[in-house]
Each structure stands twice: as C-alpha cells, then as structure tokens.
Structure 1
Amino acid sequence: MPPLSHFLQIPTKSINQDTLCLVGVVTLLSGFQLASFAKRVGHCRRKYKITPPRIDGEEAFQRCFRAQQNCLEFFPIFMTVLWLSGIFFHQLPASLLGLYYLYERENYFVDYSRNSDGRITPFRRSAQALRAMALFSALGLFNILVRHVFHWDLLQTLTDTINVPL
C-alpha cells in the first residue's frame, strides 16, 4: 500500500468549472426550490393567521410546514451525495439524478400539502435518487482507492469497454 503522502498529491485530472457546471446548476435550482417552499409556508402562515414561532394550528398549515421541514432535513444529504457523485463519478448522471430528486421533492411538497397520504410515492422516488447518487459516490471513491493501490482505473476500463466518454 502506498504511503499517505501518495494520497495527498495533486490529482492528474483537475477539477474545474467545466467539469462541475451541471452540478452547480442543480445546486442553484435546489436553492430556488427551498426558497419557494419557504415562500409557500409563509403564505400559509398569513392565510391561517399563524405567527412565528408558532407551528401549531390548521392541519393544512401543519402539512405544508412539515413538508418544508422534511425537505430541509434531507437537503444536507442531497448536497453531499450530489457533489460527491459529481466530483468522484461524473457530473452528468449526478446532475440528472439531482434534477429528478428536485422534481420528486416538488411533487412531495405539493402532495403532502394537499393530503398527507399523497407524500409516500414522491418520497420513495426522491429517496431512490439519493441512493443512486450515494452509490455513484461510493463507486467513484472506490475507483480512486483502486487506482492508487493497484494502479488500475476501474471506471476508465468500464467506460472504454462500453464506449462512454468521461
């Protein structure tokens, strides 16, 4: 096994704006989405006359508020796997999965705000997107370890075999 200093070297494939711009776009869109959720909760607060910091009141407000809170709770996980999969695997599948995640989170928010039973399917789909990004992150990180220890680029071999440009 190589010494620790080997892992601290500057990578041969440098990260630049071009290799992560799609992930950046998805990140920006996710910020806009969270702002939209906050705006909708604010609208519900005014509609049902529920002043902060109160979170009790009409059931419709509680569903809307809970949907926003759930999206906020999952946001750090989303950011982690989005960026790790974009950096260590490839930005295109990471970004496509990120867009799919945002789409299902929008469905989750809307469906939960209307009726709590409607939240299950979009929640599961968004969780599947997170799992896929986590898998890509793990594959990319595993590939780096294999490349450093065995001097073999597993992902490059795989993409050369099926003719996918990295």
Structure 2
Amino acid sequence: MDSFIVVENIYLLVIITLISVLQNAFFAQKVERECNGQNTNTSAFERVSCANRNCMDAYPTFLAVMWCAGLCLSQAPAAFAGFIYLVVRQKYFVGYMGQTCQSTPGYLFGKRVIFFLLLMCVVGIFNFLLMRHYGSDYKDYVETITSAASALLLIP
C-alpha cells in the first residue's frame, strides 16, 4: 500500500520525464537524418546539431528542478510547467532548424519556466524548514498560489 502512495505522488512527473525522453529521441533522429542525408559540413547540419547540443545541455537542469519542485512542493504545477517546457523546447529546436533568430522566443520562454520551477523548489524547501523547526506548515497556501501561478506560464 505504501508503494501506491509513492507512485500517486510522482506519476505526473514520471509521465513528463518519459515524454521528454521521447522528445530527445526525436531530436537525435533529426540529427542522424541530417547527418546521413547530406554532407556534414552544411549549415543545416550545423544548426540541427547545435540545437540538439543546446537542448541536451539544459536537460539535466530541467529534470532536476522539475523533480525537486514536484517532490518538495506540488506535483501537478511542476508537471504542468514541465510540459510547457517540453513544448517550448520543441519550438526552440524547430526554430533553430530554420534560422537561429527564430529560436530566441523559445529560449527565453524556457528560461522563464526553469526559473519558475527553481522558485517552486526554493519555496518547498523553505516551507519544509519552517515546518521542521517552527511547526508552521504553509504548504496548502503555497500549493494554491503555485497552482494559480503556473497558469501564468502560458502568457508569452
């Protein structure tokens, strides 16, 4: 029964993580197709390869803050922000394949989502410390605010 409670608290995070793995496979396939289809010295290959590297560089940070936010504070807003990040990352990757200036909105929006997840982590840890040392638990209030604030991520 205890394992069911654990899975109940993380299943949305697991789903977003698996979707991100599929997205990484899609990105790798695009790079491989560009590599096999044309000369590897073309600008198209360079753009696809660079976009893939940039996405892979930010991937561990995304996973860490999404999981920390989900575990320390609230699973649903963290998973929602994670899903938004994956959509933005897809926009960044596709924009980078066209012209690099088309990827800028996706990059900036992705930074905002990462910052939101980081803020969720800090608030969750701070709430835990307050509860542990002073007996004050503000988790319900913070979850309500976070759930409402996660909808603000949709504003460009």
TM-score range, shorter chain: 0.7 to 0.9
* Residues in 2 aligned to 1:123 and 1:23: alpha-carbon distance in whole angstroms: 22
Matched length: 143
Give RMSD over aligned pairs.
Answer: 1.9
Deviations, residues 81-108 of structure 1 (Å, cap 9, x unaligned): 0100000011100000000000000000
1:129 is matched by which residue type in structure 2?
V
Query: 1:120-139 maps to which residues of 2 (within 5 A)?
Result: 120-139=104-123
* Residues in 2 aligned to 1:139 and 1:130: alpha-carbon distance in whole angstroms: 14
1:28 is matched by which residue type in structure 2?
L
Match of 1:9 in 2: none
Please point out which of 102, 127, 131 is paired with 1:147. 131
Is 1:106 aligned to residue 90 of structure 2? yes
Residues 12 and 76 in structure 2, CA contact (< 8 A), matched pair in contact too: yes
Please point out which of 31, 34, 38 is paired with 2:21. 31
Unaligned runs of 5+ residues in structure 1 are 1-13, 51-56
Is 1:71 aligned to residue 80 of structure 2? no
2:106 is matched by which residue type in structure 1?
P
Alpha-carbon spacing, 1:87–1:160, altered in 2? closer, same or farther (3 Å): closer
* Residues in 2 aligned to 1:101 and 1:159: alpha-carbon distance in whole angstroms: 20
Alpha-carbon spacing, 1:159–1:103, altered in 2? closer, same or farther (3 Å): closer
Secondary structure at the counterpart of residue 16 of structure 1: helix
Q: CA deviation at 1:49?
A: 3.1
* Residues in 2 aligned to 1:66 and 1:111: alpha-carbon distance in whole angstroms: 12
Alpha-carbon spacing, 1:101–1:157, altered in 2? closer, same or farther (3 Å): closer
Deviations, residues 38-82 of structure 1 (Å, cap 9, x unaligned): 0000010012233xxxxxx11111010000000000001000001
- Give the TM-score of the pair, scaled to structure 2: 0.86
2:88 is matched by which residue type in structure 1?
E
The structure that is helix-richer by fraction is: 2
Is 1:20 aligned to residue 10 of structure 2? yes
Unaligned runs of 5+ residues in structure 2 are 149-156
